[in-house]
Structure 1
Amino acid sequence: MTRTTVVAGVGPGLGSSVARRFAADGDDVALFARSSDYLSSTADEIQAETPGSTLPVETDIADPTAVASAFETVRDAFSPVDRLVFTSGSPSAGGGIVDVDPAGFRDVIDTRLRGAFRCLREAVDDMVDEGGGTVVVTSSGQSRRPSEDVAYAAARHGTRGLVRSLAADPRLGEADVQAVHLIVDGWIDKPSLRDRYPDHDRWMDPNQIAERIHDIATTPGTVHANEIDLRHPRDEPSF
């Protein structure tokens, strides 16, 4: 049976690895991102390498209309959504409460927290109607520890609360919808980070993370997860 998977936040690190892993199973995979050129080339590469079908959908998740339109595009091209993997980051605001620019704070919250809410709302609505599915929202260790970067921390703490609250919704449990907050507590290997931090030596392979996400999404059975953390074997837990 062909499944429809949406990967929201496809970039040269984890998002593209996740899309490739699900397409390797023959899934119909929709890729959401703002960069149309990167999105199209990545979708074409995955389409050529895997048995799955890919659909690049240029999407600004900070825009409610764009998100609603993107999911309608997926439904028209494939089917209602069976799986959502939300890997999107956010713009940088920086600074503590007395330094952060209010407009920058708003942009971070609107992209990361409200963006996750918009995508979850669309995907979960499909899953409840269709009788099950899985959403995985990736985050960092700052989703459960203090940080002076008030915008970054607030967005990630909020996202954690959003996803964890889904486990308390009886309608989702009855519909066999699994919602997982996945903490990637380490450095994901991607070219931009390697260039900036050439001395760092504890990189997490995005393909291996994608494999874990695939396992979570495809084998829920009678055991659902709600929060999982991943780290490099030489990193100490940050909680």
Structure 2
Amino acid sequence: MSKVCVVIGVGPGNGEALVRRFCQEGYDVAMLARSKDFIERLAGQLPSAHAFVHDASDLAAAPSVFARIEQQLGAVSVLLYNAGGGVFKSAEDASVDDFEASWRINVGGLVAAFQAVLPQLRQQDTASIVITSASAALRGRANTAPFASAKAAQRSLAQSMARQLGPERIHVANVIIDGVVDLPRTRQAMGDKPDDFFVQPAAVADAVWMLTQQAPSAWTFELDLRPFGETW
């Protein structure tokens, strides 16, 4: 099996932690993000991390970036779709464009990446696709209509992919993060919160790594992660 991992959506937090975890495990990691400066700095720290500037919402660009990854690193065996975000408004206040923008990054970007990488995954004995999701996929709060509806659609898409690809030994898993990820901006906004209030990116990366190592006789489709004190 080729040890090539692609992480889409690399920034401070979960994206960086995923890159570091899979580099630690001996993978060549292709880092895909819009921010060239951040991924190039990270590539300078990690010899097995490689920067590819890519906007996940540019759906037509996926085939070319995955072709370059295969040419430079080899066939991909792990895809980690960490790109996300969306518009947080009520269904009354959000525009159709707000809904479309949320769908494009959470659903469209995943479809484009999946279709581009699938021929490479099929070259492996086993392969994995792990999607970073959110509790909004399970419940639509009043002022999260565009984001929550896109995350719910992404979850359904992931389940459909898992059912299709399971017989080919391609493991698709969806990770629901229920909590506030520990980032400089969240620390600044919630300076009164203790350390154990936050979701630690390194712990998320450990859980994602575990999913990619599961035996096919006991695969997890959905894993929810939250701090021990989170109300749920």
Alpha-carbon RMSD across the aligned residues, in angstroms, is 1.5
Per-residue CA distance 1:25-84 (angstroms, 9 max, x = gap): 11010000000011100121122xxxxx22100001111222211111110111111001
Name the amino acid aligned to 1:155: A
1:166 Cα deviation (Å)? 1.8
Whether 1:147 aligns to 2:141 is: yes
The two structures have a TM-score, normalised by structure 1, of: 0.91
Name the amino acid aligned to 2:132: T
Instruction: Tell me the residue number matched to 1:236.
Output: 231
Q: Is the CA contact 2:60–2:112 (under 8 Å) kept in the aligned structure 1?
A: no
Instruction: Tell me the residue number matched to 2:183.
Output: 190
Instruction: Tell me the residue number matched to 2:78.
Output: 83
Instruction: Find the aligned partners of 1:159 and 1:36 in 2 and give their Cα distance.
Output: 26
Number of residue pairs matched by the alignment: 229
Corresponding residue SS for 2:21: helix
Q: Is the CA contact 2:2–2:77 (under 8 Å) kept in the aligned structure 1?
A: no
Instruction: Tell me the residue number matched to 1:10.
Output: 10
Q: Is the CA contact 2:31–2:51 (under 8 Å) kept in the aligned structure 1?
A: yes
Q: Find 1:134's aligned residue among 128, 134, 152.
A: 128
Following superposition of structure 1 onto structure 2, how do residues 52-63 of structure 1 map, counting pairs within 5 Å? 53-63=48-58
1:2 Cα deviation (Å)? 4.9
Instruction: Tell me the residue number matched to 2:100.
Output: 106
Instruction: Tell me the residue number matched to 1:23.
Output: 23
Instruction: Tell me the residue number matched to 1:50.
Output: none
Q: Is the CA contact 1:75–1:81 (under 8 Å) kept in the aligned structure 2?
A: yes
Q: Is the CA contact 1:28–1:78 (under 8 Å) kept in the aligned structure 2?
A: yes
Structure-2 change in CA distance of 1:146 and 1:93 (3 Å): closer
Corresponding residue SS for 2:218: coil
- In structure 2, runs of 5+ residues without a counterpart are none
Instruction: Find the aligned partners of 2:156 and 2:216 in 1 and give their Cα distance.
Output: 24
Instruction: Tell me the residue number matched to 2:113.
Output: 119
Instruction: Tell me the residue number matched to 1:34.
Output: 34
Q: Is the CA contact 1:5–1:28 (under 8 Å) kept in the aligned structure 2?
A: yes
Q: Structure 1 stretches (4+) deviating beyond 6 angstroms?
A: none
Question: Which has the higher mean CA deviation after the structures are superposed, 228-237 or 124-133?
Answer: 124-133
Instruction: Find the aligned partners of 1:184 and 1:94 in 2 and give their Cα distance.
Output: 17
Name the amino acid aligned to 1:12: P
Instruction: Find the aligned partners of 1:101 and 1:114 in 2 and give their Cα distance.
Output: 18
Corresponding residue SS for 1:167: helix
Q: Find 2:201's aligned residue among 206, 210, 230.
A: 206
The two structures have a TM-score, normalised by structure 2, of: 0.93
Question: Which has the higher mean CA deviation after the structures are superposed, 210-219 or 21-30?
Answer: 210-219
